[in-house]
Structures are given as C-alpha cells and as structure tokens.
Structure 1
Amino acid sequence: MSTLEVETAQRMAPPLPVRQGSFFRRHANVIDIIGFIAFLVVVVWLVARGAGAMGYTWQWERVPPYFWRIIDGEIIWGPLIKGLLITLQIAALAIVLTLPLGVATALLRLSDSIVGRFLAKAYIEIIRNTPLLLQVLIFYFIIGRVLEIPRLWCGILTLALYEGTFAAEIIRGAIQSIPRGQWEASKSLGLSSYTTYSSIILPQTMPLVIPPMAGVLVNLVKHSSIVSVIAIFDLTTEARTIAADTFMSFEIWLTVAIMYLVITIALSLVAIWLERRFKLVGK
C-alpha cells in the first residue's frame, strides 16, 4: 500500500472513542459521601456497643438545658453556649495576632539581616519543637506572672505564638514561589522593598496561602481547648465540669465533639469560598 493510500485510509477511519475515565473517577463525589456515611455508622455502632458493654444508660434528654433554658419567657444561656463563645473569642483574637506575626517572621527569614534570620529561625524551631501544653504552662506561670498578663491573654498569646510558626512557613513558601522576574521587574522600576511586597508580591501569594492557612485556623480552634489547663472557662472546661457533675460522659463529650466539628467544617467552607474568589479575581 502506498503512502497516499495509507494517509487516505487514516483520514477516512472513524475517530477513536474518548475514554470518559474510570467508574470511580466519574462517581468520586458519590463515593466520598457514601464512605463518610459508612464511617459515621461505624463510629456510632462502636460507641453504642461500648456503652452497652458498660451498662451505660443514655440521658440525651438532659443535654438541651446545658445549651439554654427559658425561664419566665427569657432565654438563659447554658454553660455550653457560654463556653463556646469563649472558645470563639480566643480563636478570633489568636488568629488576628497569628497573621501579622506569621508575615513578620516570614519576612525576617527572607531578609538580608543575619540577626533577623537567626531570631526568626530560633523562634520557629523552639516553638515548633516543644509541646503546646508546656508552652501554655510556662507562659502562664512564669511570663504571665512576671508581666502581670491576665490568664485569658496568656492562652491567646500562647496559641498565636504557636500557630504563628506554621503561618510563617506557609507565607515564606508562598513568597519564594513567586517568579524571580517579578522581583527583577520591581527593581528595574525603582520600587522600594515595602512597595514591592505590599503591591506586587504579597497580593500574588493570597491564592497560594489561603488553603494551608485554613488548616492553621482549624488547628487553632482545636488547639484552643488546651487553655482549659489554666482554668479558662472555654467549651472544653465547661464540658468537663458538666460531665463531672452529671456523670453524662458520653452525651456531653459527643456533643462537644460535634460542636467543634461544626465550627471547623464552617471555617473550611469559608476558606474554599475565599480560594475560589481569589482565583476568579486573578483571572
């Protein structure tokens, strides 16, 4: 067969069918939902079986008053709601301090100053390689007593310092991922370092920083329970008090776990929305 006949046959041949992907890829979302439901069923079964083996009597009807009570037409908030508000307050104030601390530490690590790089590196290594519980105790019993810092702020500052190390590494990695041409262009235009960072570099890092920073925020909310060791009446402390008074360990701790889960899932959804928003703006 000549070359011309081969080319003609290839042009006239029907196109090969396009593979639509495997079954698991096409139904990934459905499989994820089924897997999550199966996981919840297994967890509920294990808890129910464990409680049954212990002869535990469920008392879920006693849980709602610890959220709120209505007395003479007035809503009286229960200890779980009060503890939740304290937890949210601690997390909100800590993240407000974590972000600028992370940016400052990241810039120091990337600076030309030997002292600045050393201090930033020492801060990150010391904080990341010591237990958070130990940091809370040292800050409260030593630093807080010397500087007369209230116990609530001891917890907030400890969390901010701890999560700030992770935020700093995330921001540093995002800055270093910006193409070198951006830096060279800013220098050729005679822009200062402050203008380069604030107007060119940092805005480009936002889509890169948001997903991992959402993880930092979620961890901050979960780690906030550690402040219960210094008698701050957050959600965990209130739950521990209720469980000790009522012996409803299963009901109270499962309820608190669900409350934390709702908070962290809501924060993750907000982070996903922000990530998509920045991507659209970038386009």
Structure 2
Amino acid sequence: MTRLKTLKWGDWLLLALVLVLISYIWLQISDVLNYRWRWSLVPHYIVGWHDGRKEWFLNLLLQGLAMTIRIVIFATLLAFVFGLVLGLARTSRNLVISLLARTYLELLRNIPPVVIVFIFYFFLSAPLIEFLGLERWGRLIARSGDYQILTLLLGDMRLFPQLVSGVLVLALFESAFIGEIIRSGIESIEVGQREAARSIGMSRIQEMRYIVLPQALRKVVPPLANQFISLIKDSSIVSLISIQELTFKTLELVASSRLVFEGWITCAAFYFVICFLLSRAFARWET
C-alpha cells in the first residue's frame, strides 16, 4: 500500500496505457482473427483426471515443467564445473591452454545458440549416449519398475537419454558464459595478494585454492545467479532436438487441442513465475 501511495499521475497514466494496449491486443485476437478463447480447458492440461485409475496425474504442461526443472538443475551443476575449468584455463600461464580455452569461449559466445545446440547434439551428445548404451539401460529400468528414487530424480527412465542430451547440450553452451564470469572474478583479485602468496612459498594451486578462488567466487555470485535465470529461459532451446521439456510439451498441447494463445500464454506464465521468484530471491540474498 505504501508503494501505491508513492505513484504519481505519470505512473498511473503509464499503467493505463499498458492496460489499453493489452485490451487492444485481446480484442484484435478475438475479433480480427475470430479466435474463440477456451481457458476452461487449460487446467486439464496442467493436472488431469484418469477415469480408469480414478486418480489425478500430471498432464502435459506439468510433465514438461518437471523435465525443465530437472534439466536446469543438472545442467547448472555441470556447467559450473565446466565453467570453473574454463575460467582457470583462461587465466593459466600456459599459452596453449589459455588459447584453447579462449577459442572455445569465443566460438560459443559468437555463434547462434540454435546452431550450437544442433552441433553439440549430433556430434557429441547423441554418439555419446549410443556409445554408453544409456537408452537401453533406461528402458531396462523402466520395464523392471524398480529404482523409484531414480524415477523421482530423473523422471520417466524411458526418456533418460533425452534428459542426458538436454543436460549436456545446455551445460556445454552455458559453460562458456560461466567461464567468462569466473575469469573476470579471478582477474579482479589484486595482484599484490597473489604476489604475497607466492612470496610465502605457496604453489600456483595453493594460491588459487586458498587466496584467489574463495574471494573470486564471492564476487561472481550475483552474475552467476543471473546466468542461472538465463539458463532456465535458454532451456527452451533444447525443444528443437525433441527434448520433452515445457516448450516441447506446449507444442504438443497446441497441436492436439488448437489452444494456440492459451497454451503459449500459460507456458510463458510458468517461465515468468519461476524466473521472477528466483530473481527476487537472489536480490534478497545479495542484500
């Protein structure tokens, strides 16, 4: 209420213009496109009722959201490990290691994400999954019905190869940005501290472990948090390689029900709520 009282007439005018714009778009969709809104059907695609089993189940949108959350969590952990290695490699005194890391970072940061996703999927992820036999392993577990903990953590084991593909592709893509963030954090540490560490006989590894990295990681927490939120939004890219996350499931919903606007607006709302809540949580954490 106190914030509402601080709004001036210009703020109210801006809010009124936004509402007018939304209303105009809504009318254009309804009248010009002759679109019939069917919002009453949307809840069924979030949580459905199975008449045979007489129980509720997670329908398309929540299935996709669950897969998105799994992919984002595992991809974040893996991307941080890759990014930390890349950040250390970028600041290495070895010219070859530094150049290789920089080449990787520059390539990924200057090529469209869609191209990178397809390259990683067809040349790395898919051959690796086939080589390790992950698809056959996932099907065996799905048929056995055991390992409920694995099912809880990884979802439907028949889709385990897709989960691995999505995690690998996103982790390798996002690691380039995380690597640059960590590099900037390492280089922000004063040279005097590193010289002092060497003067007391610390090795390069000890210098990084005890002096540089603890300070650098504290400094890069805010940009890493922002990158985590970006990863959630970037996860929609893997729908292009048939990973059944939220965007892919929304495509299925739209194709099967013709709920074009309702489906995509609901999908956008899911992404917005997750990213907004996380951004507010990280903002509180930083303060």
TM range, normalised to the smaller chain? 0.7 to 0.9
1:62 to 41, 44, 47: 41
Alignment partner of 2:220: what SS? helix
Structure 1 residue runs of 4+, over 6 Å off?
31-36
Secondary structure in 2 aligned to 1:191? coil
1:37 deviation in Å? 5.4
Question: What is the rounded CA distance, in whole Å, between the counterparts of 2:276 and 2:219 in structure 1?
Answer: 20
Counterpart of 2:185, as a letter, is: A
Residue of 66, 81, 84 corresponding to 2:62: 81
Pick aligned residue for 1:49 from 10, 13, 27: 27
**Corresponding residue SS for 2:56:** strand
**Distance change >3 Å, CA 38–CA 175, structure 1 → 2:** farther
**Aligned AA for 1:41?**
L
Shift of 1:34: 6.3
Q: CA RMSD in A?
A: 2.7
What does 1:1-283 align with in structure 2 at a 5 Å threshold? 41=19, 44-52=22-30, 53-71=32-50, 74-149=55-130, 150-276=161-287
Distance in 2 between the 1:208 and 1:37 partners? 37
Structure 2 vs 1, CA of residues 117 and 130 (structure 1 numbering), >3 Å: closer, same or farther?
same
Q: Distance in 1 between matches of 2:20 and 2:216?
A: 41
Contact 2:186–2:216 (Cα < 8 Å) also in 1:
yes
Q: Assess if the C-alpha contact under 8 Å between 2:126 and 2:165 holds in 1.
A: no
Tell me, in whole angstroms, the C-alpha distance in 2 between the residues paired with 1:263 and 1:55.
Answer: 32
CA 217–200 in structure 1, closer or farther in 2 if over 3 Å, else same:
same
Larger radius of gyration: 1
Unaligned runs of 5+ in 2: 131-160
Contact 1:136/1:155 (<8 A) preserved: no
Once residues 39 and 154 of structure 1 are traced to their aligned partners in structure 2, the CA distance between those partners, rounded to angstroms, is: 44
Residue in 1 that maps onto 2:139: none
Structure 1 Cα separation of the partners of residues 59 and 248 of structure 2: 13
For 1:132, the aligned partner's letter is P
> Aligned pairs, how many?
251
Unaligned runs of 5+ in 1: 1-25, 277-283
Q: Which residue of 2 aligns with 1:17?
A: none
Q: Distance in 2 between matches of 1:217 and 1:113?
A: 30
Asked which structure has the greater RCO (Cα within 8 Å, sep 6+), the reply is 2
- 2:48 match: secondary structure: strand
Q: Percent identity?
A: 36
- When normalised by structure 1's length, the TM-score is 0.80
